[in-house]
Amino acid sequence: MKDKMIMTPGPTTIHEEVRKAMSKPIINPDLDIEFYEFYKNTSSKIAQLLNTNNEVLILSGEGILGLEAACASLIEPGDRVLCIDNGIFGKGFGDFVKMYGGECVYFSSDYRKPIEIKELKVFLEKDNDYKLATFVHCETPSGLLNPAKEISLLLKEYNILTVVDAVSSVGGELIEVDDWKIDIALGGSQKCLSAPPGLTFMSISSDAWKSILNREKPIIGYYCNLAIWKDWYEKKWFPYTQPISDIYALDCAVTRLINDEKRYERHSVIANAVRKALNVSGMQLYPLDGWSNTVTAIAVPEGINEKEVREYLLEKYNIMIAGAFGALDGKVIRIGHMGENCTEEKVFITLKYFDKTLRKFGVKLKKEIHKEFVDNLD
């Protein structure tokens, strides 16, 4: 049988070169000095993608580990933390904050719109006594992109540390950690980087390091404790045995991405064409504004069971797309066009059979989605 097309917003398709890199013979990542150089080199390629001179760590565990490690390492009991919430991941950050004893204050706004800077400004003028703030660059479940630059720069005006979940934007949307003054930017291997799931990575600013290393109370736990990584390179010591094969794959995937100079243009052209094609065909996008170029979330038409639509697409055409979860369960259908999946061919095939499937379920489409997609690729 033909390989399944995994057009979900992560995990994404893994290129053959990346799979091969993963199967390379291993060396001993604790004892072989060569591996410390390899790890450092992979980290600097990620730093290049994040546009930062900050230190980058790669941790063994997927995206969520990064979110939890940032909270565990920065938050001391009683610290006030601002959680900017206009989506499922934004809200979820608050759970980690509370878990580590932080006093979580939400700035919540419409889940169908990006954060309104003016409103955040008004909020901060009244109350800005926060040690750190968390927010999400791309809210994957709703396909929404927040103005990370403006949010981060505004928070820094009040000396608030910024922790940004950029798991589903890094590599597909521009992110400039240094210019935007992001203290901790978090990513994952399985989204736009198109490496196997299993790794998270993060850039850590000197302010964030200061805060992590000068706490009053020690960090609870080990795996989520970023302080244990201090001096790993100087001492040639890892806190635990590194998942060397995963890192081989990640290195290959990041190299492919940084060699693709048109990566942001590619994501933007394809995402634009997807949105236009859906709009003129009469489908509604879930976000009303601020659409991400890495994933498109479509509002499920009245009377349609999105699970049945996805099952049909998978069983009949071998194409997997996604629904969502939590508050958005049953409300959106998502097509991922990130990383290796962001190609005209893959998106065309997906839309062609998505179109057929929608018709099969009685959705009246005004145009043929895949044809409109091609016509709008400019």
Ligand X SMILES: *Cc1c(COP(=O)(O)O)cnc(C)c1O
CB of 147 to ligand X, least distance (A): 16
CB of 322 to ligand X, least distance (A): 11
135 within 8 A of 115, measured Cβ to Cβ: yes
117 vs 303: CA distance, rounded Å = 36
User: Between residues 163 and 167, which has the closer beta carbon with respect to ligand X?
Assistant: 167
Which tokens in the block code for residue 97? 């904050």
Which tokens in the block code for residue 40? 């450092």
188 within 8 A of 63, measured Cβ to Cβ: yes
304 vs 320: CA distance, rounded Å = 18
* Residue 325, amino acid: F
End-to-end C-alpha distance for the chain, whole angstroms: 34
Residue 167 in contact with ligand X, rule: CB under 6 A: yes
Residue 58 in contact with ligand X, rule: CB under 6 A: no
289 within 8 A of 113, measured Cβ to Cβ: yes
Residue 79 in contact with ligand X, rule: CB under 6 A: no
Residue 63 in contact with ligand X, rule: CB under 6 A: yes
Question: Going along 68-113, which residue ranges are E strands?
Answer: 80-85, 103-108
- Calculate ∠ Cα 130-131-137, nearest 5°: 85
* Residue 132, amino acid: L
Which tokens in the block code for residue 27? 């060396």
Residue 147 in contact with ligand X, rule: CB under 6 A: no
User: Between residues 64 and 174, which has the closer beta carbon with respect to ligand X?
Assistant: 64
CB of 307 to ligand X, least distance (A): 18
Residue in 68, 79, 85, 165 binding ligand X, rule: CB under 6 A: 165
User: Between residues 193 and 351, which has the closer beta carbon with respect to ligand X?
Assistant: 193
Stretch that binds ligand X, among 25-33, 51-59, 162-170, 304-312 (CB under 6 A): 162-170
Residue 61 in contact with ligand X, rule: CB under 6 A: no
User: Between residues 137 and 370, which has the closer beta carbon with respect to ligand X?
Assistant: 137
User: Between residues 136 and 199, which has the closer beta carbon with respect to ligand X?
Assistant: 136
Residue 96 in contact with ligand X, rule: CB under 6 A: no
User: Between residues 59 and 369, which has the closer beta carbon with respect to ligand X?
Assistant: 59
Residue 135 in contact with ligand X, rule: CB under 6 A: no
155 vs 150: CA distance, rounded Å = 9
Question: Which spans of this chain sit near ligand X (rule: CB under 6 A)?
Answer: 10, 62-64, 89, 136, 140, 165, 167-168, 188, 191
